[in-house]
Copies of this chain bind each other. A is one copy, B any other.
């Protein structure tokens, strides 16, 4: 993982703790071939498996396999799979991975526009989770 990627994860990690959610960062994925999210976060009512991405651009590309690994992990654990997107100067957006639009080959292009339309913000994620778009 790039230093920037690690910093993005850490930022989100501390956001959860500051709001009385527990959060754990995964050990570097180089150590294992088993699927793992970047973060697990939760409280008594919610368990989220989170893939964390940041970009200076207005979109990112995600491979089918990356998303499948996360959803496999979440299915076993009964967790909700969340994509946490951080756009430079546009803050955080959170999306339910099950509802992301696929392209023809099953991969994903996640745009800032999509995030603005379908994403929720952090306060919504932790406080109003069940009421919203997710």
A10 at the interface (CB under 8 A from B): yes
A132 at the interface (CB under 8 A from B): no
Closest chain-B Cβ to A18's Cβ sits at a distance in Å of 10
Residues of chain A at interface, number, CB under 8 A: 27
> Which of B10, B23, B26, B78 lies in contact with A25, CB distance below 8 A?
B26
Q: 1/0 per position for A5-19, CB-CB distance to B under 8 A?
A: 000001001100100
CA distance A21 to B43 in the complex (A): 20
Q: Name the residue of chain B whose CB is nearest to the CB of A27.
A: B25
Instruction: Give the B-binding residues of A (Cβ under 8 A).
Output: 10, 13-14, 17, 20-28, 31-32, 34, 36-37, 40, 42-44, 47, 73, 76-78
